[in-house]
Amino acid sequence: MPEPAKPGESRIDPVDAAGFVGAGDHDDRVTSPAAGRLERFLEAGKTAIPPLTLLSAVLFYFGYVSARARYEYFGVDVDTIGLGTQEYIMRSPQPLLTPLLVFAAAGAGSVAVHAVVRKRIRTTSTRRMGRVAQGIGLGTLTAGLVLLFGYAFLGGWRLYGLVTPLLIAAGTTLFRYGSAIRRLLRPPVHRGAVVLGYLVIAVSVFWMTATVAQWSGRGAAMSDAARLDKLPSVILDTKESLFLRSPGLEETKLPPSEGQTFHYRYRRLRLLIHGKDRMFLVPDRWSASDSTIIVPLDGSVRVQFQFQNDRP
């Protein structure tokens, strides 16, 4: 039993001291129950899903989304190309670069803001800061949910796939942070709310990144279409006329000769992409009536790649 304080001597109860440390100057040895439960939840997830497998799946998905949007611009279903898992993963850095830079900057800004908040954590404005953050977060989250449930009317908006998850993620983050600030002066909330909040943020970030990946693929396709003459030039020989309708293509009938199996030659074609057992060719100049030609590499055609015209 602790001894009574002597006259002129102030004593602090150990329980109150521990609570004061947890509320203000955070000690690494003092961990809130919610944080401990979250750590156990994350550790369980790491055991169930190996990090490398999860990373590969994420990279594959974003590479696939970007490639699908890119070749869809040329009327090609990416599944017909026959790209492998490694090829999709190698295509993922380009669409992920911008989101990663934005998230890194946002994370650095969050750390700076949190450092400022911690300095004022003992002042009387703590509750007010928490209430303001919760109010702004709740309003932002409500706006995002309105967009989400109004998909039937607003789904055609070009920025819908970016603005909606951005509002949901930002609103949830602000609301959770405001709750965390006020929770320093109150008992912690139920862990279900904590897990649900992080889940909403993760799904929203995933949605935003997928939208950016789709835009990246579309932008790359439009860049290719504006500079088709930069793609590899192809001369195609076929056994029969292809009756191509794209303007600007040159069809030449080859002179007959003994043993000749190819009778038609096509110029002004460019290689869009080389699949597993086929090539996808496009005209060297964009037109609204252009089409993509699928050429199987099975001996039924003869393909030549031209040198670039720039002299070395």
pLDDT tens digits, 78-87: 988 988 888 8
Residue pair 81/281 in contact (Cβ under 8 Å)? The answer is: no
Tally of residues, the chain: 312
Nearest-angstrom CA–CA distance, 224 and 214: 15
Q: What is the pLDDT of residue 190?
A: 59
Res. 74: pLDDT tops 50:
yes
- Which uninterrupted H or E stretch holds 225? helix 191-226
Average pLDDT score over residue span 260-281: 90
**Which has more confidence, 159 or 65?**
65
Q: Is the pTM of this model over 0.85?
A: no
DSSP-assigned letter for residue 284: S
Average pLDDT score over residue span 171-185: 72
Nearest-angstrom CA–CA distance, 258 and 238: 16
pLDDT tens digits, 8-38: 444 434 434 333 334 444 444 444 555 566 5
Torsion-angle region of residue 295: left (phi > 0), alpha (psi -120 to 50) or beta?
Answer: beta
Mean per-residue pLDDT of the chain: 76
pLDDT tens digits, 86-126: 888 888 887 887 777 877 787 777 777 666 666 666 555 66
Q: What is the pLDDT of residue 172?
A: 82
Token pair 């009778």 is at which residue?
263
Q: What is the pLDDT of residue 116?
A: 66
Please list, residue by residue across 69-82, b when 16 or more beta carbons sit within 10 angstroms of its beta carbon and e when fewer do: bbbebbebebeebe
Q: Please give the structure tokens belonging to residue 47.
A: 């055991």
pLDDT tens digits, 135-167: 887 888 788 788 778 877 777 777 777 788 888
